[in-house]
Structure 1
Amino acid sequence: MNEGVVNWVIKPFDELLVNELYAIMQLREEVFVVEQNCPFLDADGKDPDCLHLLGWVDKNLVAYSRIVPPGIAFQTASIGRVVTSPRFRKNGFGQQLMQKSIDVADELGFRELTIGAQYYLLKFYQRFGFKEFDEIYLEDGIKHVHMRR
């Protein structure tokens, strides 16, 4: 299902429109809570300090991440809540999202990035220059590993 060109929007939390915030929370919940069968508190208090990258195709939020400044999740900046809509997978939107996230972080001067990656996505993140540097750990019952680029 190729649904067209992605319109990328980057906004600080306090500039998000209510419908944008709703779409973000709905997508994150759909994937991280329901699809991955992982009840956890997604609204972790970090969102107000982050930049939010939204990828839209028409009125559908197809991809999302948050760029986390240094000192919030890790000593370095981070990219988190990386997610693509299940209905729009296999279109390359995940790769576009990750590259755009890295580009935005770079424009902000965040040259070093640390992520807590779901272990099954290790190869995906390695394609973007991330290297694992720590032991595998469980977070909300899912294997994760710290990676840095």
Structure 2
Amino acid sequence: MEWTLQTFEELSATELYEILMARNSIFVVEQQCAYQEIDGYDPKSFHLTLREGDKLVAYARLLPGGVKYDLPSIGRIIVAPEYRGSGAGRRLVARSVNIMVKDWGVEQIKLQAQVYLRHFYESFGFEPTSEEYLDDGIPHVDMLMRVKNEVLRGSE
């Protein structure tokens, strides 16, 4: 499996199409949530993918501070259905955090978590910063990681 981190401009049309198709398949179709999935933040974001051959296994969008929130954030976290339960999601979040901490030097990372994944994100050190709320009909909670001087594992 191979990791790739790309700016919007570095993505080929085929790569972008595959990412948007996967996000739409999960966030709109699978979760039965009609909303504007393409939200205008992609051009100013970094796109982290994990591939096995030509198959997209996992994806996350890394947003620098000032793009969507004042703080840097991770969003649009997906794992292809056939790879769920394989540890790909854990490796994806760990890799995302490592990039932001080690390469970008951030001290805090924000994310909007679907409530059912709250404990998953807490296992990385994210803490809830809001009450539960509905976002496009799905229960969410805002979460924040305050970076500690620890080595993050599981992203290799």
CA distance in 2, matches of 1:75, 1:45: 16
Matches within 5 A, 1:16-27: 16-27=11-22
| 1:145 alignment partner in structure 2 | 141
Return the letter of the residue paired with 1:123. H
CA RMSD of aligned residues (A): 0.8
TM-score normalised over the length of structure 2: 0.90
CA distance in 1, matches of 2:106, 2:47: 15
**Where in structure 1 do 4 or more consecutive aligned residues deviate above 6 Å?**
none
Match of 1:108 in 2: 104
User: How many residues end up aligned between the 2 structures?
Assistant: 144
The letter for the 2-side match of 1:90 is: G
C-alpha distance in 2, partners of 1:10/1:95? 17
Q: Which runs of 5+ in 2 are unaligned?
A: 146-156
SS at match of 2:19: helix
Residue 29 of structure 2 is matched in structure 1 by 34
Q: 1:89, CA displacement in angstroms?
A: 1.1
| Amino acid corresponding to residue 136 of structure 1 in structure 2 | E
Residue ranges of structure 1 left out of the alignment (5+ in a row): 1-5
- CA distance in 2 between counterparts of 1:110 and 1:41 reads 29
**TM-score, scaled to structure 1:** 0.94
Please state whether the residue corresponding to 1:83 is helix, strand or coil.
Answer: strand
